[in-house]
Structure 1
Amino acid sequence: MEPLFLPLNCDFTAYHVLLPMQGKEFSFSVHNIPRDKASLQHAMLECNEELRTILRGVEPVVQERLKQSYDLSTFVLELKDILERIVRTQPFVSLPTPAFYSQLCANLDSVGWEHLIWLSDELSSLHLRIFDSAGREHIVLVDLPPGFPEVAPTASANLPIPVDLRSLQGESLKDIILQYESAIETYQDFWDVMEDVDKRVWVMEPDHPSRADAFRRIALGGHCSLSIVVDPLSPRSVPECRFFGSDAVISPLRRRLNSGLRKWDRSRPLIANFEEVLEITFPSAQETDKEDMSADCGICYAYRAQDDALCSDVGTLQGSVPDRVCDNPNCARPFHNTCLLEWLRSITTTRQSFDVLFGHCPYCSHPIAVKSTHG
């Protein structure tokens, strides 16, 4: 369709223009057009709020095109070109239908407005709050498609296992809340167990555990640690375990764990079971010197590796934590595998056999070896 020019006065010095494009119709006005229509150098452009928002950031370009245009038709073509360029990078967003708003309000009435804690300006997403039987707060993030409720919404929450949404009585927000309430109650024992772990021991990782985290790295002291992954559906069973530290310290712990699992009692807290099986007492953050708990790399003095080149060189992930420890129990310094590898490569006395480098600890000169690749 062609643009429509509507004169606003008898002198034809002002026009209201309707510009159809891609199923939309943009309207604007141009004033101070000279009677001879020889130039728009002194013309003024007035846009409605929608068009002003679209053109935000390119106003100088629009004004320059207006001043350089010889007549109104030329400028309209220039403006159309600008709008088409914007559309290619930022497509126009269609507003929801009136039925969308009424259905959304009806759904929130059904859920209860007390559950709503945030709603986006575009009404395309919202956050719903749920409290479980222990009083923990959970936030469900819901994305509403333009075709809601005919098109089902999507949702997510901070849970150890994502909820597989299934329709109960339709595709309503009430259905989503019911399914998340059911899932949340499933993990009550899991969160009780993890909160007890966080309270009793020194957790090295993650720094700020979320309710989705089933992993904990627990400090054992002497630069040694225990990594556990708890089963969210069976949190009191024996978790996946991995020890980090000097072989002189962690080898006996591995043997005790393998031979003492018969002592594991699911009625006891997880940490109490570990202390019984491993025959140790875990140090707590409140009663232990931080220097003894530290696992910063003895070469780069950081906890997480940050060197992209080193990490890509040996196939490890950026941000890896120290995963190699000096086997001398009087030293037991931790190192990033990448840092130790580069250190050994820089020492002329280092020898290599296949993919293993053999050298000495930078601190105590105790023999130490590191693989040049991870497999």
Structure 2
Amino acid sequence: MAEPGEWDNFLLRYPGIIVSGSKARGTVKLNGKWYRLKVVCPHFPKLEEARLELLLPQQVKFTKIKKEDLKAGWTLYDLMEHLPQLQHKYSDTANLSAKSLEITDSNIYSEIAALYAPQDYQLELNDACSLLRFSKFAGYERHYLQVALPTLQITAHSLPDCVPWEEQLQKYENLTAMVQQFRNYLQHLRAFYGNFADIDELCYVVQPKPPVSTKHNWRLFVLRERVFIKLVLSDPFAPIGSMSVQIIGPTQAVEELRRTLSDGLSEWDVELDIHKNLLRIFDICYFPMPPGSGWMEVDGEVNSTEQKFCNICYSYQLEEGEIPIVSCDNPQCTLVYHAACLKEWFNTLTDGMDFLSVSFGTCPFCKTKLSTSFSELLAN
């Protein structure tokens, strides 16, 4: 098997090739023509036990090159230089005058080769040459952009769902401009993702299900026992200006904390991020951490939230990632529920009340009313 680093000179000569172990695949340009191939070369650069497949003109499947067509003593370098002759030999005679593997400068595949920039991002093309994926952008490793070929239709991306990015990016008529604009968006969204970074790392985020995707523009995290903060950034380009902060929990606690939040928002420090401003507003050193995090309070007690099971389904986490956070206004009742389980519970009651009304439901056990701050969770 080829040792790590042995392919380096080969990749420098043929930058359109991607190598994984003893396997290589990609697109190369020889004498002005483009060739798409797949190679298995366990004894690189020798062709012992090697296998070559070449995509022929007007074909969608790769054709295997026979060993008898490879001259004795050839290395992979020799094989690459003889691709034009091999392509000609294996092409169907009826198609020789049709399209060759030559790709003009206006063709999308020529543009893909020009976009090869491993220092800026990773570029992957599927075997059918129908999907192109840009990923692991420098400084933004979690982000990706995937387009269909040759239509340039965006099939997947990592940007926040709250903006119709597809419509914005589809305005660009070529792939180069589209990728450049995507990278521009990543730079413009640095503040958006930066404001969530400390919250994701230093808070107990209960929704969306961790690890949180780059596509989410909201977080629901623990403020204290039975009380949560829901943070929404509606406009990723103006995170502070579009910020919405909602307190969710028992009615009495919510009323007190809403007043504290209102007073604190009027003294917002623009030099601090959202996480630090919220710590200052609620006059705490840090928010509760996830169970088992091991962070310590000043007095030596562990600062984390205990896992409590839903008192309807008797489980902690649902398949969708939801955990039980809904509780009633009775301070003596310590039971919690999944919003989904409560919704199903209320739907089974013949005299169930409207979730969106002022008194939308009561605790299934102690019959104390639930805080209306939970109404959005139950309505979704």
Under TM normalisation by the shorter chain, which class is it?
0.5 to 0.7
Structure 2 equivalent of residue 159 of structure 1 = 159
Match of 1:142 among 144, 147, 152: 147
Q: What pairs up with 1:1-375 in 2 under 5 angstroms?
A: 98=100, 103-112=107-116, 114=118, 115-129=121-135, 131-132=137-138, 134=139, 136=141, 138-145=143-150, 151-154=151-154, 156-160=156-160, 161=163, 162-163=165-166, 164-165=168-169, 171-206=173-208, 207-230=210-233, 231-237=235-241, 239-280=243-284, 281-285=286-290, 286=293, 287=295, 292-294=305-307, 296-303=309-316, 322=324, 324-337=326-339, 339-340=341-342, 362=365, 365=366, 367-368=368-369, 374=379
- Percent sequence identity over aligned pairs: 23
1:246-288 C-alpha deviation (Å, 9 max, x unpaired):
2232221112112331111121021111122233441233327
Q: CA shift at 1:343, angstroms?
A: 5.8
Contact 1:116 1:126 in 2 (8 A): no
What stretches of structure 1 of length at least 5 have no aligned partner? 1-52, 54-95, 146-150, 307-317
CA change 1:106–1:279 in 2 (3 A) is same
Contact 1:340 1:370 in 2 (8 A): no
Code of the aligned partner of 2:157: A
Code of the aligned partner of 1:157: H
Q: CA shift at 1:239, angstroms?
A: 2.1
1:199-233 C-alpha deviation (Å, 9 max, x unpaired):
22111122111222211111123132111112411
What TM-score do the two structures reach when normalised by structure 1? Answer: 0.56
CA change 1:346–1:127 in 2 (3 A) is closer
Distance 2:352 2:140 in 1: 58
What TM-score do the two structures reach when normalised by structure 2? Answer: 0.56
Distance 1:353 1:205 in 2: 26
SS class of match (2:123): strand
CA change 1:374–1:185 in 2 (3 A) is closer
Identify, as 1 or 2, the structure richer in helix. 1
CA change 1:238–1:298 in 2 (3 A) is farther
CA change 1:351–1:125 in 2 (3 A) is closer
Code of the aligned partner of 2:368: P
Distance 2:363 2:170 in 1: 58
SS class of match (2:270): coil
Contact 2:203 2:289 in 1 (8 A): yes
SS class of match (1:325): coil
CA change 1:240–1:294 in 2 (3 A) is farther
Code of the aligned partner of 1:213: H
Q: CA shift at 1:188, angstroms?
A: 1.2
Query: Which structure has the larger Rg over C-alpha atoms?
Result: 1
Contact 2:329 2:370 in 1 (8 A): no
Contact 1:142 1:154 in 2 (8 A): yes
Q: CA shift at 1:124, angstroms?
A: 0.6
SS class of match (1:298): coil
1:290-347 C-alpha deviation (Å, 9 max, x unpaired):
98343642221335567xxxxxxxxxxx876646312123434322355446667999
Contact 1:197 1:271 in 2 (8 A): yes
SS class of match (2:146): strand
Distance 1:357 1:182 in 2: 46
CA change 1:345–1:200 in 2 (3 A) is closer
What stretches of structure 2 of length at least 5 have no aligned partner? 1-60, 62-97, 297-301
Q: CA shift at 1:178, angstroms?
A: 1.2
SS class of match (2:129): coil
**Mean Cα deviation higher: 175-184 or 335-344:** 335-344
Distance 1:177 1:300 in 2: 47
CA change 1:366–1:166 in 2 (3 A) is closer
CA change 1:266–1:332 in 2 (3 A) is farther
Contact 2:228 2:248 in 1 (8 A): yes
CA change 1:173–1:329 in 2 (3 A) is same
- Compute the RMSD of aligned alpha carbons: 4.0
Q: CA shift at 1:123, angstroms?
A: 0.7
Contact 1:127 1:141 in 2 (8 A): yes
Distance 2:152 2:109 in 1: 16
Structure 1 equivalent of residue 34 of structure 2 = none
Contact 2:328 2:362 in 1 (8 A): no
CA change 1:120–1:227 in 2 (3 A) is same
Q: CA shift at 1:104, angstroms?
A: 3.8
Contact 1:129 1:139 in 2 (8 A): yes
SS class of match (1:176): helix
CA change 1:344–1:135 in 2 (3 A) is closer
